[in-house]
Amino acid sequence: QVIKCKAAVMWEANKPFSIEEVEVAPPKAHEVRIKIVATGICRTDDHAINGALVTPFPVILGHEAAGIVESVGEGVTSVKPGDKVIPLFVPQCGECRSCLSTKGNLCSKTDLGTAAGLMPDGTSRFTCKGKIIHHFISTSTFTEYTVVHETAVAKIDSGAPLEKVCLIGCGFSTGYGAAVKTAKVDPGSTCAVFGLGGVGLSVVMGCKAAGASRIIAVDINSDKFAKAKELGATDCVNPKDFKKPIHEVLIEMTGQGVDYSFEVIGRTETMTAALACCHYNYGVSVVVGVPPSAQMITFDPMVLFTGRSWKGSVFGGWKSKDSVPKLVADYMKKKFVLDPLITYTLPFTKINEGFDLLRTGK
């Protein structure tokens, strides 16, 4: 039956979240209803609030979470009530060209980029005050209960601490995978990471795990440098400390540029700077930050002609349903840490304060 619960509803753009009682419909065929236990706040949610990422309103945002299956619709075989799970903002249908290719992970069933804000059947499972509330990128985790399609949920280790592994639902996996999977950083290489939020720090961890000998962390907020060094950065650079463009600074520091660079902010200026700072012939630059919609990039094509590679990475290149349980297992085996990425733990009703902390770089 219908569950009534609390959710943080975003009624319109650029307004605070409103904690409301919502009705969550039962799961239809091949759908799963999840009790959300912990959810992270990610910059991508903020992009949706301010319009940089187009999504229909009213909406329940949130996409980085962990929870417990409450009920399943008919035909669901991969999870059952009581299972610990992580919702997947990049689904894995196992049938489309990306899913069938060893090279791809961006399932065609994704709502990223199309922004329908509905379940695959074109309807919503949320209502509030008699109005339909939209879903957000196949997940919608800023609610006590959510409904996702079976292709957008992964069963994880029953012993996993949900308040930590929720980060594997987006931030950690996105950054770590951008280094080890998309860029395939090799031992002894030099890397530059632009942006030291949770995802950027996860890129630093990925570069270190891959054996990079030099990891240069770049951010305009020097308060973030101590944690970056703790997680593996060898150098920290604040662009505000220099009169010249940051890519020139990095080229001077490294001789002819870095082997790998990562843009983990979502700004067009830093994307072109990250491309320019990598080696002119064999440098690889990866766009990890969500690009602002309706903005274009202009750059000198000679930058690419000499041999550089420019790549994008969604969810770290991982095939979500296959990889998330393995990443959780690796965390349980202490192959990587998540605690340093968690700066504050707040009750759900203080979600607006959480976003203030995000926006102030805390």
- 53 or 207: which carries more pLDDT confidence? 207
Q: Is the pLDDT of residue 273 over 80?
A: yes
- 64-68, 208-212, 247-251, 357-361: the lowest-pLDDT one: 357-361
C-alpha 309/C-alpha 331 separation (Å) is 31
Class of 183-312 in CATH:
alpha beta
pLDDT in tens, 124-182: 999 999 999 999 999 999 999 999 999 999 999 999 999 999 999 999 999 999 999 99
The residues near 307 (Cβ < 8 Å, ≥ 6 apart) are 280, 281, 282, 283
Domain with CATH 3.40.50.720 in the chain: 183-312
The CATH-assigned architecture of domain 3-171+317-360 is: Alpha-Beta Complex (3.90)
The CA-based dihedral angle spanning residues 228, 230, 234, 240, taken in that order and rounded to the nearest 10 degrees: 30
Q: How many CB atoms lie within 10 A of CB 347?
A: 8
Residue range(s) occupied by CATH 3.90.180.10 in the chain: 3-171+317-360
Q: Which tokens belong to 324?
A: 């998330």
DSSP for 169-212, written as a single string = GTHHHHHHHIIIIII---TT-EEEEE--SHHHHHHHHHHHHTT-
Task: Decide if pLDDT at 313 tops 90.
Answer: yes
β-strand partners of 85: 67, 155
Per-residue pLDDT band for 349 (boundaries 50, 70, 90) equals: very high
Q: What is the pLDDT of residue 114?
A: 74
Q: What is the pLDDT of residue 322?
A: 96
CA distances (Å), origin 96, targets 68, 106, 177, 262, 316? 28, 9, 22, 28, 19
**What's the confidence (pLDDT) of residue 362?**
87
More confident residue, 228 or 116: 228
Residues 6+ apart with CB under 8 A from 293: 51, 52, 53, 54
Asked whether the predicted pLDDT for residue 33 surpasses 80, the reply is yes
Mean pLDDT within 284-296: 87
**How high is the pLDDT of residue 111?**
77
Q: Please write the tens of the pLDDT for every residue from 253-269.
A: 999 999 999 999 999 99
Q: Is the pLDDT of residue 36 over 80?
A: yes
Q: Six-digit token pair at 70?
A: 């409450």
The per-residue pLDDT for range 40-66, each reduced to its tens digit, is: 999 999 999 988 888 999 999 999 999
Q: How far is CA 88 from CA 41, 147, 339, in A?
A: 15, 12, 21
CB distance 209 to 336 below 8 Å: yes
Average pLDDT, the chain: 95
